[in-house]
Structures are given as structure tokens and as C-alpha cells.
Structure 1
């Protein structure tokens, strides 16, 4: 092979590479641009987590005289969620004007869509002659963190 034959082979390789780029680069850009990004979580109106939470029981523990509320959470968003529920303890269902009610938090992780999880929330020491009222003061949810996340 002479020098001119090698020269033409180099040009031929260069032209084949250029043709490949002209054909496949637009195709790659098209696939990249038309691809869907990560799925957005469904829009849930603010305060919707409260609708997922229900107080199922409200009793005074006879040993410690503390109020114990049973709470059920039913997941309704896709995926698995963790709920942070604020339970309020009062003497009546109607709040006292200007009064402050005792509250306690419950963290309920791993609530799947359509599943119901139960938790018990322990409140303050309760007077012997009073009957407690327990209710949901607030609730929030978010994705359950993975096992490696602190």
C-alpha cells in the first residue's frame, strides 16, 4: 500500500464518523428531549393529611393516669408516606376561648396507599374526675425516608 491509499482510508474513516454523527446526534437529542423527567408527586391540597387521620379511642390509663389516644391513618397518596400527627387533649370537644390544650405528636412511618396503620399517643396526666376529649389538631405527610437516610 502506498501513501495515497492510507490517505484515502483516513478520509474514508473520517467521513463515516461524520455521517454517523449527523444521523445519530439528532436522534439522540430527540430521545433525550422527549423523555419524561422524574414523576411529580400528585398535588394534594394543604391540610389534606388531616383527612387521612382518625382518633379511634380516647381513654385514661388506670396505672399512670395519662390520657391515651388511639389513632388510625389511612394512606391515600401513591407510594409510602410517613405521617406526623398532632393529637390534642381537652376536657370538652369545644375549645375554651383563650385556653391552651395539651398536645402530643405521633410519627407513623410506612403508610402505603389504601393501608391503615394504628398508633397510640400518650398525653398528659389527667385529673380523676374529668373525662378527656381527644382530637386531631394537625397532620402532615411526606415520603418515607429510605433506610440509609438519617
Structure 2
């Protein structure tokens, strides 16, 4: 094996190492930035989630669909606005498996005021009691 062959092998090892770095470095940064130690069942951190709660969770007797009543309290330090809330429906409070979700938009929430909305979920099995919770919430731009 000559010096030329060793030179090409060195370049090949360097290029493979660089390719690996280009592929796995963004993945590592994504995992690090996403905060892997956060509980996946907890709502995402942020000031909006504290302003939102589910006040009732029931099964509609006619349609057999689960309904979650959502309550949003406007922040006193912010102007009026709308909220988009993701409500999660499960058969028990503990997270496990895949849960059904629904979006509800609550428009016109004034500072300090409380507004309500209903999230309509899937048809619910007769023998189980539903659990409803806030999966996410964010302010929505006002549309006119």
C-alpha cells in the first residue's frame, strides 16, 4: 500500500466523520433544546396555560360525545384577545397511550374577565368516565 492510498483513506475517514457530525449534531441540539426531562403529560410551560382550565367534563346524553367546558381568564396586564385551547380527552387522568384532542377558540377575552367555551370530543364508550384536560393554550390573533 503506497502513500497515496493512505492519503485517500485519511480523507475518507475525515469526510465520513464530517458527514456524521452534520447529520447527528442538529439532532442532538434538537433533543437538548426540547428539554427531555419535561413530563409529557404536563401542559407546555408558558403564561397562557395558567389562565386556562377545564371546569367540566361530561358526556352528552343524546350524541354520546364527550364535552369539555373551558374557562379562560384574561390577563390584567394585556389587552383583549382570543385564545386557542387544545383540550385532551382520556379515560383516566394518567397519561398513557394516545388521547383524543379538540381545539376551541374563545374570542373577545377582556383583561380580568372570564369567558367560557366548549370543546366537543369523540363519541364516548358507555362504560367509561371521561377525563378532560388542557393540553395546550396560546393567544390567537384577533380577526375582524
- Number of aligned positions between the proteins: 99
- The 8 Å contact of residues 52 and 75 in structure 1, kept in 2 or not, is answered as yes
Q: Deviations over 1:56-79 (max 9, x none)?
A: 100000111000011100010421
Work out the CA distance in 2 between the residues paired with 1:51 and 1:104: 19
- The 8 Å contact of residues 80 and 143 in structure 1, kept in 2 or not, is answered as no
Deviation of 1:109 (Å):
1.0
TM-score, structure 2 normalization: 0.66
Match of 1:63 in 2: 62
Match of 2:71 in 1: 72
Match of 1:90 in 2: 90
Match of 1:48 in 2: 47
Bigger-Rg structure (1/2)? 1
Q: Deviations over 1:35-87 (max 9, x none)?
A: xxxxxxxxxxx621111101010000011100001110001042111100000
Task: Indicate the SS of the match to 1:105.
Answer: strand
Gapped runs of 5+ residues in structure 1? 1-45
Dislocated runs of 4+, deviation >4 Å: none
Gapped runs of 5+ residues in structure 2? 1-44
Task: Indicate the SS of the match to 2:49.
Answer: helix
TM-score, structure 1 normalization: 0.63
Match of 1:139 in 2: 137
Task: Indicate the SS of the match to 2:48.
Answer: helix
